[in-house]
Amino acid sequence: MSMSVLLVGCGNMGGAMLEGWIDQKIKPNSIVVIDPSSANLEKARALGCRGFSSPLLIEEGYVPDAIVFAVKPQVIADVMDHYRSYTDKGAFVISIAAGTRIEKFEQQLGDHVPIIRTMPNTPAAIRQGMMVSCANGLVSEEQKKLCDLLMEAIGTTAWVDMEEDIDRVTGLSGSGPAYVFYMIEAMTQAGIAAGLSEELSTLLAKTTVAGAGQLAISSPKAASTLRENVTSPGGTTAAGLSVLMAKDGLKPLMEKTVAAAVQRSKELG
């Protein structure tokens, strides 16, 4: 599938997407990158893309199929006006700016513009991300396919119909990597408290979480079944789970954790 892409922002997430697109055989010369950082532009140019520090430097007559905004949410309102000339000529928008609602793009770019809002997470940096998208009513099926093509280059994709679900997605998968990293920290400290060295505890915690996650992805079985399969009655795993699965254990704590993140996402929006 051929398409021309204007990538606005080539930092950590934008750079990960760019590398993924090129690996997925999107032609580098069909990608234009805008970024004020000379280092980021250098990386983009080294991959074969055209890079500019400002959209004002792009040649007259250029119109991309898609504009992908990969800038921080604090600056998105300041930069999007510079791209209205492209959306007026038919370009559609994909935004990964957390907390910036579709309505904000419609206000600044026009209510005639097809807009997709996508919530990624940080494992996209190693192409193991989870990207959930929501579209306004003007986005065509072809444009959704183009969005999937771009997002599948850095992980797994899904769609929601209601934009308010993006807040829920943010609380679960958007913020979720931090929960897992904290679990690794906690498991490491628990290993040290049990008498293991810090080095070994860290290795055990990281590889156990990574291996269990990969097994959960690879297996057709539900997570509850996988848990049951490694839990012998009266054994060590059952003893540990009796704490995690207590009334005040992990489940209610995780529900409160996700709910707090969802509420904050709503407030930021």
Q: Domain map of the chain by residue range?
A: 5-166, 176-268
Burial of 152 (0-12, 13-18, 19+ CB in 10 A): middle
Beta-strand ranges (E) seen in the chain are 5-8, 31-34, 50-52, 66-69, 92-95, 115-119, 129-135, 155-159
- CA-nearest of 60, 15, 72 to 39 is 15
Q: Mean pLDDT, consecutive 10-residue segments, the chain of 269 residues?
A: 88 93 91 96 96 94 95 91 94 93 95 96 93 98 95 96 95 96 98 98 98 96 97 96 96 97 89
DSSP 31: E
Rounded distance between C-alpha atoms, residue 152 and residue 172, angstroms: 19
CB contact at 8 A, 110 and 87? yes
Rounded Cα–Cα distance for residues 73 and 93 (Å) = 15
Q: What is the reported pLDDT for 98?
A: 85
Side chain identity at 233, as an amino acid letter? Answer: P
pTM greater than the 0.85 cutoff: yes
Nearest CA-CA partner of 154 in 203, 207, 94, 113:
94
The pLDDT, as a whole number, for residue 1 is: 54
Looking up tokens 């006006």, which residue turns up? 81
Can you tell me the distance from the alpha carbon of 219 to that of 226, in angstroms, rounded to the nearest whole number?
9
* Cβ neighbours for 26, distance < 8 A, ≥ 6 positions apart: 3, 5, 149, 150, 153
The H or E element containing residue 39 is: helix 38-46
Q: Which CATH superfamily groups domain 5-166?
A: NAD(P)-binding Rossmann-like Domain (3.40.50.720)
Class of domain 176-268: mainly alpha
